[in-house]
Amino acid sequence: MIVRAWPYRRPQERVYAEAWRLGSDAMGDLLPHGLPHWDCNTDVTMSRLIQIDVNGVEEDCGLPADVLFRLSVRCWPSTSLIRRTLFSERFRACGGKTAVELTVTATGEELGGRLIVETLLELGEQLPYTDPFVAWRPGSVLWSDQVGVHLEGAAGLLPVAPVSFREAGLPERSAWYVSMDGGDWQQAAMGSLLVLLNTDNAAVRKAMEAERTGSIAPTPLWAFLEVDIVTDLVGRALDDDAFAESEIADGDVDGGEELTMAGLVRALIRTYLARPAESLDDSINRLRDERRRDPSRFRAYVHAGIGFPREVLT
- Distance between the two ends of the chain, CA-based, in angstroms? 49
State yes or no: pLDDT of 197 exceeds 80: yes
pLDDT at 219 over 80: no
* Highest-confidence segment of 83-87, 112-116, 150-154, 222-226: 83-87
Residue 256: how many CB atoms within 10 A of its CB?
Answer: 13
d(CA 197, CA 174): 9
Are 50 and 119 in contact by the 8 Å Cβ rule? The answer is yes
Per-residue confidence (pLDDT) for residue 258, from 0 to 100: 56
Q: Confidence class of residue 2 from pLDDT cuts 50, 70 and 90? A: low
Is CATH 1.10.150 the classification given to domain 15-150? no
Angle between helices 221-239 and 261-268 (to 10 degrees): 120
CA triplet 47, 50, 55: central angle to 5 degrees?
165
CA-to-CA distance for 234 and 44, rounded, in angstroms?
27
The per-residue pLDDT for range 51-71, each reduced to its tens digit, is 999 999 999 999 998 899 999
Strands 44-53, 15-17: pairing is antiparallel
Least confident of 96-105, 126-135, 175-184: 175-184
Q: Which pLDDT band holds residue 72 (cuts at 50, 70, 90)?
A: very high
How confident is the model at residue 267, as a pLDDT?
A: 83
Contact between 73 and 86 under an 8 Å Cβ cutoff? The reply is yes
User: Average pLDDT of 219-232?
Assistant: 85
Distance CA 297, CA 305 (A): 12
Question: What pLDDT sits at residue 3?
Answer: 62
Would you kindly state where each structural domain of the chain is located, as residue ranges? 15-150, 160-313
- Is the pLDDT confidence value at 249 over 80? no
> How many percent of the chain have pLDDT more than 90?
43
0.75 exceeded by pTM: no
pLDDT at 154 over 70: no
